[in-house]
Chain A
Amino acid sequence: MRIKLPNPIPDKLRPRPRRPGDGNGNGRLTPTQATIEASKDAGISVVDWLDERTSLSGAGRWALFRKVPKGTNWFYTLGSATLFAFLSQAVTGVFLAMYYRPDATSGAYESIRHINDEVFLGEFVHGMHKWGSTVMVVLVFLHMARTFFFGAYKYPRELNWVIGVTLLILTLMMAFTGYLLPFDQRSYWASVVAVNINGTGPFIGPYLSDFLRAGPEFGATTLSRFYSIHMLLLPGAIAALIGAHLYLVTKLGTTAPPWSKAEKRSELRETEA
Protein backbone atom coordinates (compact mmCIF):
# COMPACT_ATOMS: atom_id res chain seq x y z
CA MET A 1 0.00 0.00 0.00
CA ARG A 2 1.36 3.40 -0.91
CA ILE A 3 1.15 6.21 1.52
CA LYS A 4 -0.24 9.38 -0.03
CA LEU A 5 1.73 12.37 1.08
CA PRO A 6 -0.08 15.70 1.42
CA ASN A 7 0.49 18.25 -1.31
CA PRO A 8 3.33 20.64 -0.41
CA ILE A 9 1.46 23.57 -2.01
CA PRO A 10 -2.24 24.01 -1.18
CA ASP A 11 -4.55 23.82 -4.18
CA LYS A 12 -5.68 27.41 -3.89
CA LEU A 13 -2.14 28.70 -4.27
CA ARG A 14 -1.28 26.58 -7.32
CA PRO A 15 -1.03 28.61 -10.51
CA ARG A 16 -3.70 27.65 -13.05
CA PRO A 17 -3.32 27.78 -16.78
CA ARG A 18 -5.14 30.66 -18.45
CA ARG A 19 -8.48 29.71 -20.00
CA PRO A 20 -10.17 31.22 -23.07
CA GLY A 21 -12.92 32.82 -20.98
CA ASP A 22 -10.46 34.73 -18.76
CA GLY A 23 -9.63 38.34 -19.21
CA ASN A 24 -12.11 41.00 -20.23
CA GLY A 25 -14.41 38.63 -22.14
CA ASN A 26 -12.92 38.77 -25.60
CA GLY A 27 -9.96 36.51 -24.71
CA ARG A 28 -7.54 39.43 -24.28
CA LEU A 29 -5.98 40.35 -20.95
CA THR A 30 -6.85 43.44 -18.99
CA PRO A 31 -3.86 45.81 -18.56
CA THR A 32 -3.52 44.71 -14.92
CA GLN A 33 -3.45 41.07 -15.86
CA ALA A 34 -0.98 41.77 -18.65
CA THR A 35 1.34 43.50 -16.21
CA ILE A 36 1.12 40.55 -13.81
CA GLU A 37 1.86 38.14 -16.64
CA ALA A 38 4.81 40.22 -17.82
CA SER A 39 6.24 40.49 -14.29
CA LYS A 40 5.95 36.70 -13.98
CA ASP A 41 8.20 36.40 -17.03
CA ALA A 42 10.58 39.17 -15.93
CA GLY A 43 12.95 36.80 -14.18
CA ILE A 44 13.11 34.53 -17.19
CA SER A 45 13.76 37.41 -19.57
CA VAL A 46 16.57 38.80 -17.39
CA VAL A 47 18.24 35.38 -17.33
CA ASP A 48 17.70 35.06 -21.09
CA TRP A 49 19.23 38.50 -21.68
CA LEU A 50 22.34 37.54 -19.71
CA ASP A 51 22.60 34.09 -21.22
CA GLU A 52 22.33 35.39 -24.77
CA ARG A 53 25.37 37.59 -24.11
CA THR A 54 27.49 35.29 -21.90
CA SER A 55 26.39 31.67 -22.56
CA LEU A 56 26.74 31.16 -18.82
CA SER A 57 23.87 28.67 -18.61
CA GLY A 58 25.95 26.12 -20.50
CA ALA A 59 28.78 26.50 -17.99
CA GLY A 60 26.25 26.30 -15.16
CA ARG A 61 24.76 23.07 -16.53
CA TRP A 62 28.30 21.71 -17.08
CA ALA A 63 29.24 22.47 -13.49
CA LEU A 64 26.05 21.43 -11.71
CA PHE A 65 24.26 18.71 -13.72
CA ARG A 66 26.96 16.07 -13.60
CA LYS A 67 26.72 12.31 -13.54
CA VAL A 68 27.53 11.08 -10.05
CA PRO A 69 28.71 7.51 -9.41
CA LYS A 70 26.51 5.02 -7.60
CA GLY A 71 27.25 4.83 -3.90
CA THR A 72 28.07 8.53 -3.46
CA ASN A 73 27.52 9.27 0.23
CA TRP A 74 27.91 11.87 2.95
CA PHE A 75 31.71 11.59 2.88
CA TYR A 76 31.59 13.31 -0.49
CA THR A 77 30.27 16.49 1.13
CA LEU A 78 33.50 17.16 3.05
CA GLY A 79 34.94 19.18 0.15
CA SER A 80 31.87 21.41 -0.02
CA ALA A 81 31.98 21.73 3.75
CA THR A 82 35.59 22.94 3.53
CA LEU A 83 34.59 25.41 0.83
CA PHE A 84 31.79 26.70 3.06
CA ALA A 85 34.23 27.03 5.96
CA PHE A 86 36.54 29.10 3.72
CA LEU A 87 33.68 31.34 2.57
CA SER A 88 32.63 31.83 6.19
CA GLN A 89 36.22 32.78 7.10
CA ALA A 90 36.39 35.17 4.14
CA VAL A 91 33.12 36.94 5.01
CA THR A 92 33.79 37.23 8.76
CA GLY A 93 37.40 38.23 8.04
CA VAL A 94 36.34 41.09 5.77
CA PHE A 95 34.04 42.44 8.47
CA LEU A 96 36.63 42.01 11.24
CA ALA A 97 39.02 44.08 9.10
CA MET A 98 36.57 47.00 9.45
CA TYR A 99 37.46 47.29 13.15
CA TYR A 100 40.94 45.75 13.38
CA ARG A 101 44.11 47.91 13.50
CA PRO A 102 47.45 46.16 12.82
CA ASP A 103 49.37 48.43 15.21
CA ALA A 104 51.93 46.67 17.39
CA THR A 105 52.29 49.32 20.10
CA SER A 106 48.78 48.84 21.50
CA GLY A 107 46.30 49.37 18.65
CA ALA A 108 45.96 45.72 17.67
CA TYR A 109 45.23 44.46 21.16
CA GLU A 110 43.00 47.44 21.88
CA SER A 111 40.99 47.00 18.65
CA ILE A 112 40.41 43.30 19.38
CA ARG A 113 39.28 44.23 22.89
CA HIS A 114 36.97 46.83 21.33
CA ILE A 115 35.54 44.22 18.92
CA ASN A 116 34.97 41.68 21.70
CA ASP A 117 33.63 43.99 24.39
CA GLU A 118 31.95 46.92 22.70
CA VAL A 119 31.00 46.30 19.07
CA PHE A 120 27.47 44.95 18.54
CA LEU A 121 27.79 41.18 17.79
CA GLY A 122 31.56 41.73 17.72
CA GLU A 123 32.40 38.84 19.99
CA PHE A 124 30.15 36.59 17.91
CA VAL A 125 31.73 37.48 14.56
CA HIS A 126 35.23 37.26 16.05
CA GLY A 127 34.29 33.90 17.56
CA MET A 128 33.01 32.65 14.22
CA HIS A 129 36.34 33.58 12.64
CA LYS A 130 38.42 32.16 15.49
CA TRP A 131 36.61 28.82 15.84
CA GLY A 132 35.91 28.67 12.11
CA SER A 133 39.65 28.49 11.47
CA THR A 134 39.88 25.34 13.59
CA VAL A 135 36.82 23.93 11.83
CA MET A 136 38.39 24.63 8.45
CA VAL A 137 41.68 22.92 9.35
CA VAL A 138 39.80 19.87 10.68
CA LEU A 139 37.60 19.72 7.57
CA VAL A 140 40.60 20.00 5.24
CA PHE A 141 42.18 16.99 6.93
CA LEU A 142 38.93 14.99 6.87
CA HIS A 143 38.47 15.81 3.18
CA MET A 144 42.05 14.74 2.54
CA ALA A 145 41.51 11.48 4.46
CA ARG A 146 38.38 10.74 2.40
CA THR A 147 40.33 11.32 -0.82
CA PHE A 148 43.18 9.13 0.40
CA PHE A 149 41.13 6.19 1.70
CA PHE A 150 38.79 6.19 -1.32
CA GLY A 151 41.80 6.18 -3.66
CA ALA A 152 40.50 9.36 -5.33
CA TYR A 153 44.04 10.72 -5.80
CA LYS A 154 44.86 8.16 -8.53
CA TYR A 155 44.99 8.74 -12.28
CA PRO A 156 43.71 11.08 -13.68
CA ARG A 157 43.26 13.08 -10.46
CA GLU A 158 46.90 13.39 -9.32
CA LEU A 159 47.07 17.09 -10.16
CA ASN A 160 43.97 17.76 -8.06
CA TRP A 161 45.68 15.97 -5.14
CA VAL A 162 48.72 18.22 -5.56
CA ILE A 163 46.52 21.34 -5.63
CA GLY A 164 44.72 20.03 -2.56
CA VAL A 165 47.98 19.53 -0.66
CA THR A 166 49.00 23.08 -1.60
CA LEU A 167 45.66 24.29 -0.27
CA LEU A 168 46.28 22.39 2.96
CA ILE A 169 49.64 24.13 3.39
CA LEU A 170 48.09 27.53 2.60
CA THR A 171 45.31 26.85 5.12
CA LEU A 172 47.88 26.05 7.81
CA MET A 173 49.77 29.24 6.90
CA MET A 174 46.49 31.15 7.32
CA ALA A 175 46.04 29.64 10.77
CA PHE A 176 49.66 30.49 11.63
CA THR A 177 49.57 34.13 10.48
CA GLY A 178 46.10 34.72 11.91
CA TYR A 179 47.14 33.56 15.37
CA LEU A 180 49.42 36.56 15.92
CA LEU A 181 46.82 39.21 15.05
CA PRO A 182 45.03 39.56 18.45
CA PHE A 183 48.52 40.44 19.78
CA ASP A 184 47.87 39.28 23.31
CA GLN A 185 50.38 37.32 25.41
CA ARG A 186 49.20 33.97 24.11
CA SER A 187 49.29 34.88 20.42
CA TYR A 188 52.58 36.76 20.76
CA TRP A 189 54.48 33.93 22.46
CA ALA A 190 52.85 31.22 20.34
CA SER A 191 54.02 33.08 17.24
CA VAL A 192 57.52 33.52 18.68
CA VAL A 193 57.66 29.77 19.23
CA ALA A 194 56.19 29.00 15.79
CA VAL A 195 58.66 31.28 13.99
CA ASN A 196 61.52 29.68 15.93
CA ILE A 197 60.31 26.22 14.88
CA ASN A 198 60.35 27.55 11.29
CA GLY A 199 63.95 28.59 11.89
CA THR A 200 65.06 25.06 12.73
CA GLY A 201 64.86 24.11 9.06
CA PRO A 202 68.49 23.65 8.01
CA PHE A 203 70.22 26.30 5.81
CA ILE A 204 67.08 28.22 4.78
CA GLY A 205 65.41 28.31 8.23
CA PRO A 206 67.25 31.29 9.77
CA TYR A 207 66.56 33.44 6.69
CA LEU A 208 62.91 32.32 6.60
CA SER A 209 62.55 33.48 10.20
CA ASP A 210 64.10 36.84 9.31
CA PHE A 211 61.64 37.14 6.41
CA LEU A 212 58.63 36.35 8.62
CA ARG A 213 59.71 38.76 11.38
CA ALA A 214 60.96 41.45 8.98
CA GLY A 215 64.25 41.43 10.91
CA PRO A 216 66.14 39.53 13.59
CA GLU A 217 63.54 40.18 16.31
CA PHE A 218 59.76 40.50 16.56
CA GLY A 219 59.20 44.16 15.79
CA ALA A 220 56.70 46.79 14.75
CA THR A 221 56.54 45.54 11.16
CA THR A 222 56.17 41.86 12.06
CA LEU A 223 52.49 42.34 12.84
CA SER A 224 51.69 44.28 9.66
CA ARG A 225 53.63 41.69 7.67
CA PHE A 226 51.59 38.85 9.19
CA TYR A 227 48.41 40.89 8.64
CA SER A 228 49.19 41.48 4.97
CA ILE A 229 50.04 37.81 4.39
CA HIS A 230 46.94 36.74 6.30
CA MET A 231 44.37 38.97 4.63
CA LEU A 232 45.77 39.73 1.15
CA LEU A 233 48.35 37.24 -0.06
CA LEU A 234 47.00 33.91 1.19
CA PRO A 235 43.24 34.44 0.60
CA GLY A 236 43.93 35.37 -3.03
CA ALA A 237 46.11 32.31 -3.54
CA ILE A 238 43.58 30.05 -1.80
CA ALA A 239 40.65 31.42 -3.83
CA ALA A 240 42.54 30.94 -7.10
CA LEU A 241 43.57 27.39 -6.21
CA ILE A 242 40.04 26.51 -5.05
CA GLY A 243 38.89 27.63 -8.53
CA ALA A 244 41.39 25.28 -10.17
CA HIS A 245 40.46 22.50 -7.72
CA LEU A 246 36.74 22.82 -8.51
CA TYR A 247 37.37 23.04 -12.27
CA LEU A 248 39.28 19.75 -12.17
CA VAL A 249 36.61 18.09 -9.98
CA THR A 250 33.95 19.15 -12.46
CA LYS A 251 36.00 18.09 -15.46
CA LEU A 252 37.10 14.70 -14.10
CA GLY A 253 34.05 13.85 -11.98
CA THR A 254 34.08 12.17 -8.60
CA THR A 255 35.19 8.59 -7.98
CA ALA A 256 32.92 5.76 -6.94
CA PRO A 257 33.53 4.50 -3.41
CA PRO A 258 36.03 1.62 -3.34
CA TRP A 259 33.42 -0.87 -2.12
CA SER A 260 31.01 -0.33 -5.03
CA LYS A 261 31.27 -3.29 -7.40
CA ALA A 262 31.61 -3.11 -11.15
CA GLU A 263 28.42 -3.74 -13.12
CA LYS A 264 27.68 -7.29 -14.12
CA ARG A 265 28.78 -8.40 -17.53
CA SER A 266 25.26 -9.08 -18.84
CA GLU A 267 24.08 -5.62 -17.76
CA LEU A 268 27.10 -4.12 -19.42
CA ARG A 269 26.23 -5.91 -22.64
CA GLU A 270 22.68 -4.64 -22.44
CA THR A 271 23.76 -1.05 -22.03
CA GLU A 272 26.23 -1.42 -24.88
CA ALA A 273 23.48 -2.83 -27.06
Chain B
Amino acid sequence: MPNRRRAAKSPYTADRNIPGAFEGETVTRRRFMTGSVQVFGGIAAAAIGLPTLGFALGPVFEREKSHWEDVGAAADFPDNTYIPKVVTTTPGVGEVGKTTVYVRRHNLQIDGPVRDSFDQYVAISNRCAHVGCPVRYFEASQRFICPCHGGVYDFRGARVGGPPVRPLDRFYTRVLNGRLQVGPRFSVNSELRRFSPRDPGEPLDGIGQYLYPRRFSTPELHR
Protein backbone atom coordinates (compact mmCIF):
# COMPACT_ATOMS: atom_id res chain seq x y z
CA MET B 1 0.00 0.00 0.00
CA PRO B 2 1.56 3.32 -1.11
CA ASN B 3 2.12 5.95 1.51
CA ARG B 4 -0.53 8.61 0.72
CA ARG B 5 0.65 11.11 3.24
CA ARG B 6 2.96 13.71 1.80
CA ALA B 7 6.31 13.88 3.40
CA ALA B 8 6.70 16.91 5.68
CA LYS B 9 8.40 19.83 3.87
CA SER B 10 12.01 20.23 4.76
CA PRO B 11 12.78 23.55 6.46
CA TYR B 12 15.93 23.86 4.34
CA THR B 13 15.64 25.62 0.99
CA ALA B 14 18.30 23.34 -0.45
CA ASP B 15 16.05 20.31 0.10
CA ARG B 16 13.15 22.02 -1.72
CA ASN B 17 15.11 22.33 -5.01
CA ILE B 18 15.10 26.13 -4.94
CA PRO B 19 17.77 27.33 -7.37
CA GLY B 20 20.78 28.97 -5.77
CA ALA B 21 19.96 27.72 -2.29
CA PHE B 22 22.70 27.81 0.29
CA GLU B 23 23.62 25.03 2.65
CA GLY B 24 21.61 25.36 5.86
CA GLU B 25 19.43 28.20 4.49
CA THR B 26 15.83 28.16 5.82
CA VAL B 27 14.42 31.48 4.51
CA THR B 28 14.47 32.19 0.79
CA ARG B 29 16.19 35.38 -0.26
CA ARG B 30 13.00 36.62 -1.91
CA ARG B 31 11.11 36.26 1.35
CA PHE B 32 13.95 37.82 3.31
CA MET B 33 14.06 40.81 0.94
CA THR B 34 10.26 41.28 1.12
CA GLY B 35 10.38 41.20 4.89
CA SER B 36 13.31 43.59 5.19
CA VAL B 37 11.77 46.08 2.74
CA GLN B 38 8.62 46.11 4.84
CA VAL B 39 10.53 46.50 8.10
CA PHE B 40 12.78 49.29 6.83
CA GLY B 41 9.87 51.00 5.08
CA GLY B 42 7.96 50.89 8.35
CA ILE B 43 10.93 52.31 10.26
CA ALA B 44 11.35 55.11 7.70
CA ALA B 45 7.62 55.98 7.80
CA ALA B 46 7.66 55.97 11.62
CA ALA B 47 10.80 58.14 11.66
CA ILE B 48 8.88 60.82 9.73
CA GLY B 49 5.39 60.17 11.07
CA LEU B 50 5.88 59.85 14.82
CA PRO B 51 7.87 63.06 15.45
CA THR B 52 5.53 65.15 13.28
CA LEU B 53 2.48 63.63 14.98
CA GLY B 54 4.00 64.35 18.39
CA PHE B 55 4.81 67.88 17.21
CA ALA B 56 1.16 68.46 16.24
CA LEU B 57 -0.28 66.78 19.34
CA GLY B 58 2.21 68.28 21.81
CA PRO B 59 0.02 71.16 23.06
CA VAL B 60 -2.62 68.65 24.21
CA PHE B 61 -0.19 67.33 26.83
CA GLU B 62 1.64 70.55 27.71
CA ARG B 63 0.68 71.92 31.14
CA GLU B 64 -0.05 75.63 31.29
CA LYS B 65 1.74 77.75 33.89
CA SER B 66 -0.67 79.48 36.24
CA HIS B 67 -0.17 83.21 36.46
CA TRP B 68 -1.69 85.83 38.78
CA GLU B 69 -2.76 89.27 37.71
CA ASP B 70 -3.38 92.35 39.85
CA VAL B 71 -6.94 93.77 39.55
CA GLY B 72 -6.87 96.52 42.18
CA ALA B 73 -6.98 97.25 45.91
CA ALA B 74 -8.77 94.48 47.80
CA ALA B 75 -10.77 96.99 49.84
CA ASP B 76 -12.41 98.42 46.69
CA PHE B 77 -14.60 95.39 46.02
CA PRO B 78 -18.07 95.32 47.61
CA ASP B 79 -19.87 92.10 48.54
CA ASN B 80 -23.29 92.96 47.07
CA THR B 81 -22.38 93.73 43.45
CA TYR B 82 -19.74 92.87 40.89
CA ILE B 83 -16.94 95.06 39.57
CA PRO B 84 -15.92 94.07 36.01
CA LYS B 85 -12.16 93.77 35.50
CA VAL B 86 -10.18 92.85 32.40
CA VAL B 87 -7.41 90.28 32.76
CA THR B 88 -5.14 88.59 30.23
CA THR B 89 -5.74 84.86 30.04
CA THR B 90 -3.65 84.22 26.94
CA PRO B 91 -0.52 86.35 26.68
CA GLY B 92 0.95 87.31 23.32
CA VAL B 93 -2.18 87.60 21.17
CA GLY B 94 -3.20 91.14 21.99
CA GLU B 95 -6.85 92.03 22.57
CA VAL B 96 -8.26 88.56 21.94
CA GLY B 97 -6.22 87.13 24.81
CA LYS B 98 -8.09 89.29 27.32
CA THR B 99 -11.26 88.37 29.16
CA THR B 100 -13.67 90.09 31.53
CA VAL B 101 -13.85 88.91 35.14
CA TYR B 102 -16.66 89.94 37.51
CA VAL B 103 -15.18 90.38 40.98
CA ARG B 104 -16.78 90.88 44.43
CA ARG B 105 -15.99 90.15 48.05
CA HIS B 106 -17.21 86.89 49.63
CA ASN B 107 -20.73 87.35 51.06
CA LEU B 108 -21.38 85.11 54.06
CA GLN B 109 -25.19 85.26 53.62
CA ILE B 110 -25.07 84.24 49.96
CA ASP B 111 -21.92 82.15 49.63
CA GLY B 112 -21.87 80.47 53.07
CA PRO B 113 -18.71 80.12 55.12
CA VAL B 114 -15.31 80.91 53.57
CA ARG B 115 -13.76 77.60 52.51
CA ASP B 116 -10.11 78.52 52.05
CA SER B 117 -7.78 81.41 51.29
CA PHE B 118 -8.84 81.42 47.63
CA ASP B 119 -12.48 81.89 48.63
CA GLN B 120 -12.25 85.37 50.21
CA TYR B 121 -13.16 86.99 46.91
CA VAL B 122 -15.38 85.68 44.14
CA ALA B 123 -14.19 86.21 40.55
CA ILE B 124 -16.63 84.99 37.92
CA SER B 125 -15.63 84.37 34.30
CA ASN B 126 -17.79 86.03 31.66
CA ARG B 127 -17.59 82.95 29.45
CA CYS B 128 -21.03 81.31 29.12
CA ALA B 129 -21.11 77.62 30.06
CA HIS B 130 -23.19 76.84 26.98
CA VAL B 131 -20.82 77.43 24.05
CA GLY B 132 -18.56 80.19 25.34
CA CYS B 133 -20.17 83.50 24.40
CA PRO B 134 -19.45 86.45 26.71
CA VAL B 135 -22.14 86.99 29.37
CA ARG B 136 -22.92 90.37 30.99
CA TYR B 137 -23.95 91.15 34.55
CA PHE B 138 -27.19 93.12 34.89
CA GLU B 139 -27.36 95.08 38.12
CA ALA B 140 -31.17 95.56 38.01
CA SER B 141 -31.99 91.85 37.94
CA GLN B 142 -28.76 90.73 39.67
CA ARG B 143 -28.33 88.14 36.94
CA PHE B 144 -25.73 87.21 34.33
CA ILE B 145 -27.35 86.99 30.88
CA CYS B 146 -25.81 85.58 27.71
CA PRO B 147 -26.73 87.39 24.46
CA CYS B 148 -26.24 84.37 22.18
CA HIS B 149 -28.76 81.76 23.27
CA GLY B 150 -30.39 83.25 26.36
CA GLY B 151 -28.48 81.58 29.18
CA VAL B 152 -29.35 83.13 32.58
CA TYR B 153 -27.33 82.80 35.81
CA ASP B 154 -28.11 84.07 39.30
CA PHE B 155 -25.97 86.29 41.53
CA ARG B 156 -23.66 83.39 42.44
CA GLY B 157 -23.27 82.42 38.78
CA ALA B 158 -25.45 79.31 39.09
CA ARG B 159 -27.64 78.52 36.11
CA VAL B 160 -31.31 79.52 36.45
CA GLY B 161 -32.43 79.29 32.82
CA GLY B 162 -31.50 78.61 29.21
CA PRO B 163 -29.16 76.05 27.68
CA PRO B 164 -26.03 76.24 29.91
CA VAL B 165 -25.07 72.91 31.47
CA ARG B 166 -23.28 74.21 34.59
CA PRO B 167 -22.65 77.44 36.54
CA LEU B 168 -20.28 80.11 35.27
CA ASP B 169 -16.58 79.34 35.71
CA ARG B 170 -14.60 81.15 38.39
CA PHE B 171 -11.05 82.29 38.97
CA TYR B 172 -8.85 81.73 42.00
CA THR B 173 -8.30 84.94 43.95
CA ARG B 174 -5.73 85.91 46.57
CA VAL B 175 -4.84 89.07 48.48
CA LEU B 176 -1.21 90.14 48.48
CA ASN B 177 -0.21 93.32 50.39
CA GLY B 178 -3.77 94.62 50.19
CA ARG B 179 -3.94 94.06 46.41
CA LEU B 180 -6.37 91.56 44.92
CA GLN B 181 -4.95 89.11 42.38
CA VAL B 182 -6.83 86.89 39.96
CA GLY B 183 -5.27 83.53 39.11
CA PRO B 184 -6.16 80.49 37.02
CA ARG B 185 -9.70 79.60 36.02
CA PHE B 186 -11.65 76.69 37.48
CA SER B 187 -15.07 75.18 36.81
CA VAL B 188 -17.79 74.40 39.33
CA ASN B 189 -20.70 71.98 39.39
CA SER B 190 -24.22 72.94 40.43
CA GLU B 191 -23.18 72.67 44.13
CA LEU B 192 -20.29 75.07 43.36
CA ARG B 193 -17.73 72.33 44.05
CA ARG B 194 -14.41 73.08 42.36
CA PHE B 195 -13.19 71.17 39.30
CA SER B 196 -10.27 71.76 36.97
CA PRO B 197 -11.25 74.14 34.15
CA ARG B 198 -13.56 72.54 31.60
CA ASP B 199 -14.59 73.94 28.25
CA PRO B 200 -18.10 75.34 27.87
CA GLY B 201 -20.83 72.85 27.07
CA GLU B 202 -19.40 70.13 29.31
CA PRO B 203 -21.63 69.29 32.29
CA LEU B 204 -20.02 68.45 35.65
CA ASP B 205 -22.98 66.96 37.52
CA GLY B 206 -23.48 63.21 37.81
CA ILE B 207 -21.80 61.33 34.99
CA GLY B 208 -20.63 64.59 33.36
CA GLN B 209 -17.35 64.81 35.25
CA TYR B 210 -16.38 61.37 33.90
CA LEU B 211 -17.62 61.95 30.32
CA TYR B 212 -15.50 65.12 30.14
CA PRO B 213 -12.31 64.28 32.00
CA ARG B 214 -9.65 66.70 33.14
CA ARG B 215 -7.36 67.82 30.34
CA PHE B 216 -3.58 67.52 30.52
CA SER B 217 -3.12 71.13 29.49
CA THR B 218 -4.83 72.79 32.45
CA PRO B 219 -2.94 74.11 35.49
CA GLU B 220 -2.93 72.03 38.67
CA LEU B 221 -6.07 72.40 40.79
CA HIS B 222 -5.58 74.18 44.13
CA ARG B 223 -7.40 72.48 46.99
- Give A residues with C-beta under 8 Å from B: 104-106, 188-189, 192-193, 195-197, 199-200, 202-203, 205-207, 209-211, 213-221
Q: Which 7 pairs, one residue from A and one from B, show the smallest C-beta to C-beta distance?
A: A199-B199, A202-B211, A214-B59, A200-B201, A193-B131, A210-B60, A216-B217
A215-B59 in contact given A192-B132, A196-B132, A197-B201 (Cβ < 8 Å): yes
**How far is it, in angstroms, between the C-alpha of A210 and the C-alpha of B197 when the chains are bound?**
12
Cβ-neighbour of A215 out of B56, B62, B202 (below 8 A)? B62
Asked if B97 is at the interface (CB within 8 A of a chain A CB), the reply is yes
| Cα distance, A104 to B97, chains bound together (Å) | 10
Q: How far is the CA of A210 from the CA of B59 in the complex (A)?
A: 7
Closest beta carbon of chain A to B158's beta carbon, Å: 20
Known: A215-B59, A216-B215. A206 touches B92 (CB 8 A): no
> Are B202 and A106 in contact, with the CB atoms below 8 A?
no
Contact bitstring B60-80, A, C-beta under 8 A = 1, else 0: 101010000000000000000
10 A-B pairs with C-beta separation under 8 A? A196-B199, A203-B213, A206-B198, A207-B60, A207-B215, A210-B217, A211-B60, A215-B59, A215-B217, A219-B97
Q: Say if the beta carbon of B120 comes within 8 Å of chain A.
A: no
The tally of residues in B whose CB lies under 8 Å from a CB in A reads: 30
* B59 engages A211 (CB within 8 Å): yes
Q: Which residues from 44 to 102 on chain B have a C-beta closer than 8 Å to any C-beta of chain A?
A: 56-57, 59-60, 62, 64, 89-90, 92-94, 96-97
With A199-B199, A216-B215 known to touch, is A193 a contact of B133 (CB < 8 Å)?
A: yes
Question: Is the pair B64, A215 in contact by a Cβ cutoff of 8 Å?
Answer: yes
B218 within 8 A of A: yes
| Contact across chains for A205 and B212 when beta carbons are under 8 A apart | yes
Q: A219 and B92: CB pair below 8 A?
A: yes
> A193 near B97 (CB under 8 angstroms)?
no
Q: Using CB atoms, name the residue of chain A closest to B58.
A: A214
In the bound complex, do residue B94 and residue A106 qualify as a contact, i.e. CB atoms below 8 Å apart? yes
Is there an interface contact between B200 and A196, defined as CB atoms closer than 8 Å? yes
CA distance A211 to B64 in the complex (A): 14
Known A-B contacts A210-B60, A215-B62; the reply to A104 vs B215 at CB < 8 A is: no
Please pick, from A105, A206, A214, A215, the residue contacting B212 in the complex, using a CB distance under 8 A: A206
B93 adjacent to A206 (CB under 8 Å): no
Query: Given known contacts A200-B202, A202-B212, what 20 new A-B pairs fall within 8 Å (CB)?
Result: A104-B96, A105-B92, A105-B93, A106-B94, A189-B133, A193-B131, A193-B133, A196-B199, A197-B131, A199-B199, A199-B201, A199-B202, A200-B201, A206-B202, A210-B60, A210-B216, A213-B59, A215-B64, A215-B217, A217-B97
Over the window 106-147 of chain B, the binary record of Cβ atoms lying under 8 Å from chain A Cβ atoms (1 yes, 0 no) is: 000000000000000000000000011100000000000000
How far apart are B80's CB and chain A's nearest CB, in angstroms? 31
B197 contacts across to A, CB distance below 8 A: 216
Which B residues touch A220, using CB under 8 A?
90, 92-93
- Alpha-carbon separation in the docked complex, A118 to B94 (Å): 25
Tell me the bound Cα distance from A202 to B212 in angstroms.
Answer: 6
Cβ contact within 8 Å between A218 and B215:
no
A-chain residues with CB within 8 Å of residue B62 when the two chains form the complex? 215
By a CB distance below 8 angstroms, the chain A residues around B131 are 192-193, 196-197
8 Å CB contact of A221 from B59, B89, B199, B216: B59
Asked if residues A188 and B215 are in contact (CB atoms below 8 Å), the reply is no
B residues near A199, Cβ cutoff 8 Å: 199-202, 212
Q: Which of B167-223 contact A (CB under 8 A)?
A: 197-202, 211-213, 215-218
**In the complex, A192→B218 CA distance in Å?**
18
